[in-house]
Amino acid sequence: MILKILRLKCPHCGKGSLKAGLFKTSKVCSVCGMQFEKEQGYFAGSIYPMYGLCAFCGGLVSLLALFVFDCGVIQSVSVGAAAVLAASPYLFWVSRSAFLHVENRFFKRMGV
């Protein structure tokens, strides 16, 4: 499941891509036909994984800059912020993919 999330693949078949453009999600999987966007604003909940991914990425880079490269606090936070800014397009897609995979795996089984 983690590899499918990171590769931005369909949670059902693992082959179709979630992306239809730079920041546009496909409506359905091109391989199995699974519907990705259930309703208008469906991916609004993916902002929560995005917060976590940004905090993890920025925190990790900041700590590496602080302790491994012996930067000051301000410089390490600046490097962490720059890393989050650079990784934001990919983190945007990973958060949507994670949201869709978790919903498909856990909430479909519960009948929600």
35: tokens are 């519907």
Please report, for residues 34, 36, 107, the alpha-carbon distance to residue 16 in angstroms, rounded to integers and kept in the order given.
9, 11, 21
- Asked whether the beta carbons of 107 and 42 are under 8 A apart, the reply is no
Q: Report the distance separating Cα 90 and Cα 57, nearest Å.
A: 12
Q: What is the pTM of this model?
A: 0.77
Amino acid at 93: W
pLDDT in the model for residue 108: 67
Q: What percent of the chain has pLDDT over 70?
A: 96
Mean pLDDT of 101-112: 70
